Every structure is written in structure tokens, then in C-alpha cells.
């Protein structure tokens, strides 16, 4: 369902590989949402959020270090976008997840998928220019 498509490639190998991993995490969220055999998804959702946060922090750091190394002029706006993303992810606290698992998971998935595609198109693809 969620995966890398040709139009998402930036042409920078490590960035594309890491983006592929982020799409795989989005797909995990989608599979979890669809799964009707887990009555209580709290632990799954929390570990998914943890995985997402850890991996995006790793990816953003990697991407920012690369931009720095090439003297990329739009580094600051990238950092702002990356920090906003982490802040948004941090809003998914245990209480929020516990209150409404299904809606929270759905919202998280929509946010992640939209953010990823838009950020790649509007910002990450420019890095290779």
C-alpha cells in the first residue's frame, strides 16, 4: 500500500533508501490499522510511534549532515520542517493513544503519508539539484 514510487526518488542513494524505510513504517501502520484480530492495539501503536520517531531522527540527522557537507543553502528550512515533524510525533502521547486507538492510528497514518510525500517533493528532491 505505502511504498517508494519512481517519482519519489531524489537520486541520492542513501536518502532514497532511508525514505523507503519510512514508507515501510507507514505501511506497518496501515497493516496495523487494518488488522482486526488484535483487540487492543495500544502496545503495537506505541512501539510503532517509537520506531517512527527513532528512525526519523536518524534520517533527519543524516540528511542534515549531508546538506551541511555540500553547503546546501536551504538547510535551515529543512531543519525547521524536520523539527516540526518530530514535534508533531511527540504529540502522540500514551494518553492520546489510549483515548482513541483507531482514530489516533488513522490520523498518524494520514499525517505521515502526506508529510512524507510533500516533504520529499517540495524539499528533499531539491537537494540533488
Residue of minimal CB distance from Fe ion? 124
Please give the grid coordinates belonging to residue 5. 514510487
User: What cell numbers appear for 45 in the block?
Assistant: 501503536
- The dihedrals phi and psi of 14, each to the nearest 5 degrees, come to -65, -35
Q: Is 124 one of the binding residues for Fe ion (CB under 5 A)?
A: yes
Stretch that binds Fe ion, among 30-38, 44-52, 74-82, 92-100 (CB under 5 A): 74-82
Nearer to Fe ion, 41 or 79 (CB): 79
Residues 6+ apart with CB under 8 A from 8: 16, 19, 23, 117, 120, 121
User: 3: Cβ–Cβ under 8 A, 6 or more apart, which residues?
Assistant: 20, 23, 24, 27
Interacting span for Fe ion (CB under 5 A) from 37-45, 46-54, 99-107, 116-124: 116-124
What is the closest distance, in whole angstroms, from the C-beta atom of residue 96 to Fe ion in the complex?
25
3-state DSSP call for residue 24? helix
Q: Which is nearer to Fe ion, 77 or 100 (CB)?
A: 77
Minimum distance from CB of 101 to Fe ion (Å)?
28
Q: Is 27 in contact with 47 (CB distance < 8 Å)?
A: no
Stretch that binds Fe ion, among 24-32, 58-66, 90-98, 107-115 (CB under 5 A): 58-66
| Site residues for Fe ion per CB under 5 A | 63, 78, 124
Amino acid at each position: 500500500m505505502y511504498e517508494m514510487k519512481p517519482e519519489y526518488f531524489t537520486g541520492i542513494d542513501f536518502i532514497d533508501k532511508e525514505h523507503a524505510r519510512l514508507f515501510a513504517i507507514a505501511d506497518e501502520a496501515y497493516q496495523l490499522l487494518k488488522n482486526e484480530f488484535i483487540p487492543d492495539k495500544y502496545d503495537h501503536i506505541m512501539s510503532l510511534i517509537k520506531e517512527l520517531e527513532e528512525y526519523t531522527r536518524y534520517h533527519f540527522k543524516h540528511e542534515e549532515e549531508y546538506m551541511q557537507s555540500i553547503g546546501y543553502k536551504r538547510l535551515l528550512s529543512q531543519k525547521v520542517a524536520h523539527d516540526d515533524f518530530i514535534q508533531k510525533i511527540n504529540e502522540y502521547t500514551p494518553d492520546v493513544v489510549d483515548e482513541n486507538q483507531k482514530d489516533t492510528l488513522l490520523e498518524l497514518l494520514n499525517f505521515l503519508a502526506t508529510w512524507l510525500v510533500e516533504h520529499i517533493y517540495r524539499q528533499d528532491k531539491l537537494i540533488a539539484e
